[in-house]
């Protein structure tokens, strides 16, 4: 998996951590209102103190953007620790029912591992409530019925896992359509824009764009046919992927034009990358049983003024450099 994909996953986890925290606060407010209605204002404390402590920890982790995955597991752990304390302090059926909200809430991460852990934690709390708080929470439930409570947790967890798998498959197909070129699988303009905005947000030291235009591509289509031309574009993307860094993004702008977005790179590295691209593309390619030789014109633009740069300007300057290189060649 490329570094840019890890960054996208971390960014998505950050959003989900925030969303789950907001949902937890909303459900906690409902729980407090119910408890006040049943027992009065004094029932809010001391559980509220524990919630404030956990909430402060989560706010700090989210605000400081500590490892999103760590924040995710801390959030799930805090939920179940809080419910354990709540059940011990106020052993009522309504609080036991609130505990079950943690399992579907964990599905917000679309992580099977998190759901399994949440399911195990729900079963452990169920066993604790059943054996230690039986008279308070399950006064009319026979001991032989425990198996149904455990099966309920297993059923809910299994249902959520199946739903996550289906959702992942649908999301993968949608993301492929939304962020990738249908023919070559390279990034499209939308993913290029998202990646550029992400780099500006991360305050990288420099940013650059390489503009690649395949020479005489129309003649190749006319000579060998459009099917061979399509295969050639796929081969070109494969060749380019082989020389790029994990942090670089290859985008097909359209036709035979490509842009490579790079960050934290200097002029000598850009010169070397251009040479590697030329060398990779100049090797003969076999497309539709034809051996085809290609060449490319490459221009690049580099800047350290990242905060004052916009994507269109970056591409336009790289395009101009490409035309200068084409004129020289």
Are residues 103 and 111 in contact, defined by beta-carbon separation less than 8 angstroms? no
Q: What tokens were used for 262?
A: 């790079």
Indicate whether 258 belongs to any domain.
yes
pLDDT higher than threshold 80 for residue 211: yes
Do 143 and 201 have their domain in common? no
Do 12 and 115 have their domain in common? yes
Q: Is 256 considered catalytic here?
A: yes
Single residue among 178, 207, 223 that ends a domain in this structure: 178
Are residues 44 and 36 in contact, defined by beta-carbon separation less than 8 angstroms? yes
Indicate whether 78 belongs to any domain.
yes
Task: Indicate the pLDDT class of residue 286, thresholds 50, 70 and 90.
Answer: confident
pLDDT higher than threshold 90 for residue 312: yes
Query: Is there a cis peptide before residue 46, judged by omega within 30 degrees of 0?
Result: yes
Residues 6+ apart with CB under 8 A from 21: 55, 58, 59, 62, 75
Indicate whether 184 belongs to any domain.
no
Task: Indicate the pLDDT class of residue 222, thresholds 50, 70 and 90.
Answer: confident
Q: Give me the pLDDT at residue 1, please.
A: 46
- The arithmetic mean of pLDDT across residues 80-90, rounded, is 89
Do 158 and 226 have their domain in common? no
Single residue among 130, 157, 178 that ends a domain in this structure: 178
146 backbone dihedrals φ, ψ, rounded to 5°:
-60, -35
Q: Give me the pLDDT at residue 6, please.
A: 67
Whole-number percent of the chain with pLDDT over 90: 53
Q: What total of structural domains would you count in the chain?
A: 2
pLDDT higher than threshold 80 for residue 176: no
Do 41 and 91 have their domain in common? yes
Q: Give me the pLDDT at residue 218, please.
A: 87
Do 8 and 105 have their domain in common? yes
The CA-to-CA distance between both ends of the chain, in Å, stands at: 37
Indicate whether 183 belongs to any domain.
no
Do 167 and 231 have their domain in common? no
Please give the residue range of the domain that contains residue 154: 3-178
Do 149 and 285 have their domain in common? no
Indicate whether 291 belongs to any domain.
yes
3-state secondary structure of 306: helix
Mean pLDDT for the chain?
A: 89
Q: Ranked by mean pLDDT, which of 113-127, 140-154, 200-214 comes out on top?
A: 113-127
Task: Indicate the pLDDT class of residue 201, thresholds 50, 70 and 90.
Answer: confident
Q: What is the pLDDT of residues 263-282, one digit of tens each?
A: 999 999 999 999 999 999 98
CA atoms of 146 and 131, how far apart (whole Å): 10
The residue from 181, 213, 248, 256 that is catalytic is: 256
Are residues 213 and 263 in contact, defined by beta-carbon separation less than 8 angstroms? no
pLDDT higher than threshold 60 for residue 8: yes
- The arithmetic mean of pLDDT across residues 165-177, rounded, is 86
- The arithmetic mean of pLDDT across residues 298-302, rounded, is 95
CATH code, domain with 290: 3.30.70.270
- The arithmetic mean of pLDDT across residues 97-116, rounded, is 92
Indicate whether 81 belongs to any domain.
yes
Q: Give me the pLDDT at residue 165, please.
A: 94
How many CA atoms lie within 13 Å of 10's alpha carbon, on the beta-carbon side?
A: 14
List Cα–Cα distances, 277 to 73, 251, 292, in angstroms: 43, 14, 17
Q: Are strands 257-263 and 285-287 parallel, antiparallel or unpaired?
A: unpaired
Indicate whether 215 belongs to any domain.
yes
Nearest to 299 by CA among 246, 260, 245: 260
Do 245 and 161 have their domain in common? no
Q: Give me the pLDDT at residue 2, please.
A: 55
Task: Indicate the pLDDT class of residue 11, thresholds 50, 70 and 90.
Answer: confident
The DSSP 8-state label assigned to residue 101 in this structure reads: T
CA atoms of 191 and 194, how far apart (whole Å): 5
Q: What is the pLDDT of residues 37-54, one digit of tens each?
A: 777 777 777 778 888 899
Do 251 and 168 have their domain in common? no
Tokens 């925030």 map to which residue? Answer: 18
Nearest to 220 by CA among 284, 142, 146, 129: 284
Do 297 and 261 have their domain in common? yes
pLDDT higher than threshold 90 for residue 204: no
Single residue among 117, 145, 178 that ends a domain in this structure: 178
Do 20 and 168 have their domain in common? yes
- The arithmetic mean of pLDDT across residues 249-266, rounded, is 93
CA atoms of 45 and 32, how far apart (whole Å): 10
Do 207 and 92 have their domain in common? no
Are residues 115 and 157 in contact, defined by beta-carbon separation less than 8 angstroms? yes
Indicate whether 64 belongs to any domain.
yes
């Amino acid at each position: 998996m490329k570094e840019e994909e890890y960054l996208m996953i971390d960014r998505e986890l950050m959003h989900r951590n925030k969303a789950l925290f907001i949902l937890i606060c909303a459900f906690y407010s409902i729980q407090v209102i119910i408890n006040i209605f049943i027992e009065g204002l004094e029932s809010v404390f001391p559980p509220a103190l524990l919630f404030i402590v956990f909430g402060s920890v989560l706010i700090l982790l989210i605000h400081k953007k500590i490892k999103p995955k760590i924040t995710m597991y801390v959030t799930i752990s805090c939920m179940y620790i809080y419910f354990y304390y709540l059940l011990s302090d106020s052993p009522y059926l309504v609080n036991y029912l609130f505990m079950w909200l943690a399992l579907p809430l964990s599905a917000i991460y679309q992580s099977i591992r998190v759901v399994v852990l949440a399911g195990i934690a729900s079963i452990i709390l169920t066993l604790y409530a059943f054996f230690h708080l039986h008279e308070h929470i399950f006064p009319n439930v026979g001991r032989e019925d425990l198996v149904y409570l455990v099966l309920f947790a297993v059923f809910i967890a299994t249902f959520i896992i199946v739903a996550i798998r289906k959702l992942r498959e649908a999301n993968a197909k949608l993301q492929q359509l939304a962020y990738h070129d249908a023919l070559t699988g390279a990034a499209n303009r939308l993913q290029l824009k998202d990646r550029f905005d992400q780099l500006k947000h991360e305050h990288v030291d420099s940013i650059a764009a390489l503009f690649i235009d395949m020479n005489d591509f129309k003649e190749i289509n006319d000579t060998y046919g459009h099917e061979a031309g399509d295969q050639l574009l796929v081969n070109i993307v494969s060749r380019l992927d082989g020389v790029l860094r994990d942090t670089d993004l290859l985008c097909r702008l359209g036709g035979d034009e490509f842009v490579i977005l790079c960050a934290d790179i200097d002029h000598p590295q850009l010169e070397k990358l251009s040479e590697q691209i030329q060398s990779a593309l100049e090797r003969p390619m076999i497309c539709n049983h034809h051996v085809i030789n290609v060449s490319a014109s490459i221009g690049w633009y580099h800047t350290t003024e990242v905060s004052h740069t916009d994507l269109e300007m970056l591409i336009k300057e790289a395009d101009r450099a490409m035309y200068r290189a084409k004129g020289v060649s």
